[in-house]
Copies of this chain bind each other. A is one copy, B any other.
Amino acid sequence: MPGNTFGHTFRLTSWGESHGKAIGGVIDGCPSGIALCEADLQHELDRRRPGQSAVTTARQEKDRVEILSGLFEGKTTGTPLSFLIWNEDQHSEDYEKLKNIYRPQHADEVYDLKYGFRDYRGGGRASARETAIRVAGGAVAKKMFQAMGLNTRITAHTQKIQELEVKNPQLDVIEQNSVRAADLKIAQQMEQRILQLKEKGDSVGATVEVVIENCPVGLGEPVFDKIKADFAKAFMSINAVLGVEYGAGFESAQLLGSQNNTRENGIYGGITNGKPIQFRIAIKPTSSIQLDQLSE
C-alpha cells in the first residue's frame, strides 16, 4: 500500500490507522530556520476536530500533537520533521462485531480484495481521521509561507448546502460560525438545516469553495503537471469529494466562446499568474447508516 506520500520538494508521508496506537507524519524538505512549535500544529488540528459544535459528529478527539524531530531551539533544522498523535480511544472491541461482515458502501470489501487481509477494527487508513495528518502538514506549510515573506492566503468556506448559497462571500467571517460559511446570516440558516436533518438521523452534502490569494507567480508545469491538475488530484484524494471545478468550471461547458472572456482567473497555460484562484469542490453527504466516516 504505497501512496502515503504527498509532494516532491516539501513531502509529507502519512501513517497510522484510526484504531491503532497512533497516527503521524514525516515532512521531508522543510527548510531550516522556520519558527515552529507544537502549538502551531495544535491550533489547526483544533479547528479541524470533530465534536466542536452541535452540527458535526459526536465523536470527541483530543488529538494532542507531539513533534519528535527536526526542531531545535524553536526553529526547524532542515532535517525531517516527525510528529505523531496518540490515539486515546482505540475501542477496537466495538468492531469485533464487524469481523465477519462488510459494511455497504464502505472500503472494507475492496481492501480485502486488494490486500488479502482485513483489519476490521474500523476505517484504518480509509478513515477520515487520516486527514488530521494533512492538516498538521498544512500548518507547517503555512509557517513556511510566512517565513518566506509570502502573503499567500488559502481559504475554504462552505458555499452551498441544498438551496442555501453564499453569493457574496465575506472571507473574514468564516471563523465566526460553526459551518464556516462566508456570510453570517446564511451560516445561521445552514446550521439550522443541519440540526433539523440530524434530528431525523439524516445528513447533507455541501459545495465548498477554496480561494487562493497572492499565490506566487510561475507555479505549475505546462503539460501533465499543470497546477490545476495537481490541485484537482489533491482535492479528489479526500474521501467524500466527488467533484472539482476551477474558474467557471461546469458552467463554462454551457457557454459560448464569445461569453467566456469575462471571468478572472489565476492560471494560464497551467501556470499561476498571481491573480486569485478559485476552486469549488463537491462533498457528498455522510452515509446516514454509517459507523465511521469511511467512504470512497
Contact = CB atoms under 8 A, between A and B. Distances in A.
B225 A229 contact: no
A208 to B, nearest CB: 9
Given A32-B115, A121-B72, A225 B2 contact: yes
Interface string A224-238: 111011111111110
A138 interface: no
A2 B15 contact: no
A249 B78 contact: no
A17 interface: yes
Nearest to A266: B296
Interface in A34-74: 68-72
Interface stretch (A167-175, A181-189, A268-276): A268-276
A103 B269 CA distance: 12
A242 B237 contact: no
A112 to B, nearest CB: 10
B256 A203 contact: yes
A106 interface: yes
A101 interface: no
Nearest to A77: B119
Nearest to A163: B254
Contacts of A80: 1, 4, 13-16, 125
A116 to B, nearest CB: 6
A130 interface: yes
A119 B111 CA distance: 40
Given A242-B245, A294-B269, A296-B228, A221 B2 contact: yes
Contact of A82 (B15, B113, B242): B15
Given A77-B124, A82-B15, A253-B205, A222 B68 contact: no
Given A15-B68, A20-B70, A232-B233, 4 more contacts: A23-B69, A78-B115, A125-B223, A205-B260
Interface of A: 1-6, 9, 11, 13-17, 20-24, 26, 28-29, 31-33, 68-72, 75-82, 84, 104-107, 109-111, 113-117, 119, 121, 124-126, 130, 160, 162, 197, 201-207, 217-218, 220-226, 228-237, 239, 242-261, 265, 267-273, 282-288, 290, 294-296
| Nearest 5 A/B pairs, CB to CB | A107-B269, A3-B221, A3-B225, A243-B245, A203-B257
